[in-house]
């Protein structure tokens, strides 16, 4: 980021010169904060730490520092008790911030520290032959937003959909199909029919434990390459992918790879051999494990007693393959928090195998979507289908648009942006570790802290610019309080991008655009933006900067910004 527009750095530099470069530390710079009450300035520095060094009262040090700072970036610097309070020069600060946004446009807020490096992201990863439910939304939209944020930091990203297309459940599904399935019904309605068979198998299994063994037997046949088992499995996989692609198109989310669990079938023996060669593989209850007692973790199961592989074996093979293929700087696994122990085991085993890059693998956990306070479960049939929610959101958005703006052109396109945006924003506005109670009513509420609220603020700002008739914009300065609040928020955007990247947390961006939208709506209500006077060009330039940052913030979340709605 251009340090000239980072006034925290300017204030720190001014303090450093007054204190003495030998004494100034990064820890002191971190003490600079924005006061909650703007009457105490735009930035404040407490002098308690310096008081210990100089052996003088902090009030005396604050007064000396305030008198020593003479920087045109600040309208004034004054001492208040033990604090040095800096007030920005509003015209100078605003001109630097707003004109930079107008110049850089969508590049504003970008960082370059990721240039030349690759981040691999594993996200979405639904199980084939099961419906794409609201439970899958979290990994999908968090992962996609993180990919956008990583790219904003300069990284090349590789987006991987690690499909759940292997495991004992597919033996059970084959067994269910052989017993109760119909080829015609599956062709007519693939996922619901396969899902019905899956749920029925688990219901029947309770009364007939022999079914469990039958399911395992079919999976063993699948692993051994049995022709019928492989044919059915491929069919289930193909029809599932077709269904998933329709949902990804609605969300406008794409992937670079669809290498699911089955892709690693021929790569797992090599992992087991390496573990054996390094003396890490131990036999326990006829199964092969890697002991992780010293790390405070349960043993990592590599092969079951019947010789079948596990999720861990496949994730070990995937980790090695991904590093060899992409030489990643980081590998992010956007998977629910219930898998935390699993990923700790996998990363630790890779490290024990002598892979230094294992320390760059990160599990990005998240909370659950709940229905009536309970976890959604495909096995128990307690699911809400994502596609149905998206379609209903689009219908409701169209209904709203037709009521409020019936003459709008391309209503269907705008409704899609608003409806899908409502669903995505509802998820991303919460910190990823929070559980979310499913509520269609809250999700589709077009007032308050919602995606449509932010989109409407953007559309309103675009309307102001259209009415102005202006096409070129330049900011020479404004001093009113409402515009000043917006300038400070616009200035914060690059820092928010960095915060979202460091915390793997898209909610930072969601909360930011919501705050900026609220500030603009307040400004719109308080100021006559289009009034013809000497400040009009600066007001319009400020509104233009708002549209640029709102649109870019929404883009990072994977949400479109309609110019009219």
CA distance 65 to 29: 15
DSSP conformational letter for 256: S
Does residue 523 share a domain with residue 415?
yes
Domain for residue 220, yes or no? yes
Name 158's bridge partners: 120
Domain for residue 184, yes or no? yes
Closest-CA residue to 284 (of 273, 296, 293): 293
Q: How is 475-509 classified by DSSP, letter by letter?
A: -----SHHHHHHHHHHHHHHHHHHHHHHHT-THHH
Does residue 549 share a domain with residue 416?
yes
Does residue 181 share a domain with residue 48?
no
Domain for residue 77, yes or no? yes
pTM of the model: 0.91
Does residue 183 share a domain with residue 70?
no
Domain count, the chain: 3
Residues 6+ apart with CB under 8 A from 556: 145, 148, 149, 152, 497, 500, 506, 509
Does residue 402 share a domain with residue 522?
yes
Domain boundary among 88, 123, 156: 88
**Edge-to-edge strand ranges of the sheet holding 300-303:** 281-284, 287-290, 300-303
Domain boundary among 88, 121, 141: 88
Residue with tokens 């006829």: 286
Does residue 548 share a domain with residue 423?
yes
Q: Which two tokens stand for residue 252?
A: 């406008």
Does residue 78 share a domain with residue 186?
no
CA distance 502 to 492: 15
Taking each helix axis from N to C end, the angle separating 168-180 and 210-223, rounded to the nearest 10 degrees, works out to 110
Domain for residue 115, yes or no? no
Handedness of CA 396, 432, 161, 112 (dihedral sign): positive
For 33-82, list the strands marked E by DSSP. Answer: 43-46, 74-80
Does residue 171 share a domain with residue 77?
no
Q: Which two tokens stand for residue 207?
A: 């009364």
Q: Are 489 and 515 a contacting pair, CB within 8 Å?
A: yes
pLDDT for the residue 378? 56
CA distance 417 to 39: 41
Does residue 550 share a domain with residue 404?
yes
Range of the structural domain that residue 233 is part of: 167-252
Domain for residue 549, yes or no? yes
What phi, psi does 332 have (nearest 5°)? Answer: -105, 130
Under-50 pLDDT residues of the chain: 1-5
In angstroms, the Cα distances linking 561 to 170, 300, 396, 409 are: 41, 46, 17, 15
**3-state secondary structure at position 408:** coil
CATH number at residue 501: 1.10.730.10
Domain for residue 227, yes or no? yes
Does residue 535 share a domain with residue 406?
yes
pLDDT per residue as tens digits for the range 15-71: 998 888 888 888 898 999 989 888 899 999 999 989 888 899 999 999 999 999 988
CATH number at residue 78: 3.30.1360.70
Domain boundary among 30, 60, 88: 88
Does residue 84 share a domain with residue 181?
no
Closest-CA residue to 517 (of 429, 451, 441): 451
Domain for residue 111, yes or no? no
pLDDT for the residue 5? 43
Closest-CA residue to 564 (of 449, 431, 455, 474): 455
Domain for residue 381, yes or no? no
Q: How is 290-319 classified by DSSP, letter by letter?
A: E--GGGT---EEEE-TTS-B-HHHHHHHHH
Does residue 174 share a domain with residue 80?
no
Taking each helix axis from N to C end, the angle separating 227-251 and 190-207, rounded to the nearest 10 degrees, works out to 120
């Amino acid at each position: 980021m251009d340090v000239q527009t980072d006034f925290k750095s300017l204030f720190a530099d001014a303090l450093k010169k007054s204190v003495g470069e030998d004494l100034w530390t990064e820890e002191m710079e971190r003490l600079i904060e924005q006061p909650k009450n703007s009457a105490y300035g735009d930035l404040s520095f407490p002098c308690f730490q310096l008081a210990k060094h100089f052996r003088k009262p902090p009030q005396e040090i604050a007064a000396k520092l305030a008198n020593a700072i003479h920087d045109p970036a600040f309208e004034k610097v004054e001492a208040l008790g033990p604090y040095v309070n800096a007030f920005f020069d509003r015209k100078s600060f605003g001109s630097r911030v707003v004109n930079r946004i107008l110049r850089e446009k969508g590049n504003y807020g970008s960082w370059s520290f990721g240039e030349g490096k690759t981040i691999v992201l594993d996200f979405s990863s639904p199980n084939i032959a099961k419906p794409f439910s609201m439970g899958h939304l979290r990994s999908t939209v968090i992962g996609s937003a993180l990919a956008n944020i990583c790219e904003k930091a300069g990284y090349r990203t590789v987006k991987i959909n690690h499909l759940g297309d292997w495991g004992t459940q597919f033996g059970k599904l084959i067994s269910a199909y052989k017993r109760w399935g119909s080829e015609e019904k599956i062709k007519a309605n693939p996922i619901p029919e396969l899902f019905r068979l899956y749920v029925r198998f688990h219901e029947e299994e309770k009364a007939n434990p022999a079914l469990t063994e039958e399911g395992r037997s079919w999976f063993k046949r699948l692993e051994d390459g049995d022709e019928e088992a492989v044919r059915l499995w491929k069919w289930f996989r193909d029809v599932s992918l077709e269904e998933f692609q329709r949902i990804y198109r609605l969300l406008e989310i794409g992937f670079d790879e669809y290498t699911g669990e089955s892709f690693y079938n021929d790569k797992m023996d090599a992992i087991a051999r390496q573990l054996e060669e390094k003396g890490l593989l131990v036999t326990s209850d006829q199964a092969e494990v890697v002991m992780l007692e010293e790390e405070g973790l349960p043993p990592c199961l590599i092969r079951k007693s019947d010789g079948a592989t596990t999720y861990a074996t496949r994730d070990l093979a995937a980790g090695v393959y991904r590093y060899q293929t992409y030489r990643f700087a980081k590998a992010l696994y956007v998977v629910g928090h219930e898998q935390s122990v699993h990923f700790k085991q996998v990363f630790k085993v890779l490290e024990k195998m002598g892979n230094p890059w294992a320390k760059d693998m990160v599990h990005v956990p998240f909370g659950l979507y709940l229905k009536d306070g309970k976890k959604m479960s495909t096995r128990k049939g307690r699911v809400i289908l994502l596609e149905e929610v998206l379609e209903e959101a689009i219908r409701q958005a169209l209904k709203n648009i037709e009521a409020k703006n019936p003459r709008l052109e391309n209503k269907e396109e705008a409704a899609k942006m608003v409806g899908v945006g409502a669903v995505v924003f509802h998820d991303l506005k919460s910190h990823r570790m929070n559980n979310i109670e499913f509520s269609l009513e809250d999700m589709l509420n077009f007032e308050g802290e919602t995606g449509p609220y932010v989109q409407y603020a953007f559309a309103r700002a675009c309307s102001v610019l259209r009415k102005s008739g202006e096409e070129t914009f330049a900011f020479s300065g404004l001093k009113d309080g409402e515009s000043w609040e917006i300038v400070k928020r616009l200035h914060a955007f690059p820092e928010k991008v960095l915060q979202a990247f460091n915390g793997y947390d898209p909610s930072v961006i969601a909360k930011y655009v919501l705050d900026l939208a609220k500030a603009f709506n307040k400004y719109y209500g308080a100021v006559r933006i289009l009034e013809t006077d000497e400040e009009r060009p600066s007001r319009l330039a400020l509104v233009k900067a708002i549209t640029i940052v709102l649109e870019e913030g929404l883009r990072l979340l994977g949400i479109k910004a309609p110019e009219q709605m």
